[in-house]
Amino acid sequence: MLPTENRLRRREDFATAVRRGRRAGRPLLVVHLRSGATDPHAPGESAPPTRAGFVVSKAVGGAVVRNQVKRRLRHLVRDRLSALPPGSLVVVRALPGAGDADHAHLARDLDAALQRLLGGGTR
């Protein structure tokens, strides 16, 4: 489970991450990342937490499969929050193949997408 301060909940936050953020697609998922826009050297201001949200449509599968995919993605993202810039907004969108994928394949695709977004990967 993601801590409360790391959850993306508002429609406006999802829209900001998707419309104004960078995108990296993989066979099982698409990751949208909007890096924090706050100045880390501003006096008296602490960095806001990185927040993540998930989109799993009916194309992935029935309700049970969608919830399984969401739980797996939440677990994977929770372990990677510290690698993301403070104040970032992350939206992970599962593609139809994610319902049949195991934990290791989802982790590999998520890592590859985040690496590409953070500047460490090639196209």
Q: How confident is the chain (123 residues) per 10-residue block, as mean pLDDT?
A: 92 96 97 76 72 97 98 96 93 97 97 92 55
Residue with tokens 């994977």: 76
Question: Which pLDDT value is given to residue 1?
Answer: 83
**pLDDT for residue 121:** 57
Q: What is the number of alpha carbons within 13 Å of residue 123 lying toward its C-beta?
A: 1
Whether residue 122 is contained in a domain is answered as no
Nearest of 88, 28, 90 to residue 60 by alpha carbon:
28
The CATH number for 71's domain is 3.30.230.10
123: in domain: no
Judge whether 58 lies within some domain.
Answer: yes
pLDDT for res 36: 78
Is the whole model's pTM more than 0.75, yes or no?
A: yes
DSSP for the chain, written as a single string: ---GGGB---HHHHHHHHHHSEEEE-SSEEEEEE---S-TT-TT-PPPPPEEEEEE-TTS-SHHHHHHHHHHHHHHHHHHGGGSPTT-EEEEEE-GGGGT--HHHHHHHHHHHHHHHTT----
Q: Is residue 68 part of a domain?
A: yes
Number of domains present in the structure of the chain: 1
Q: What is the pLDDT of residue 39?
A: 47
Task: Tell me the C-alpha distance between 92 and 121, whole Å.
Answer: 18
Residue 41 lies in a domain: no
Q: In the numeric block, which tokens belong to residue 31?
A: 């990751």
Residue 80 in any domain: the answer is yes
pLDDT of res. 46: 74
- Whether 42 maps to a domain, the answer reads no
Domain membership flag for residue 59 = yes
Range of the domain at 22: 4-35+49-117
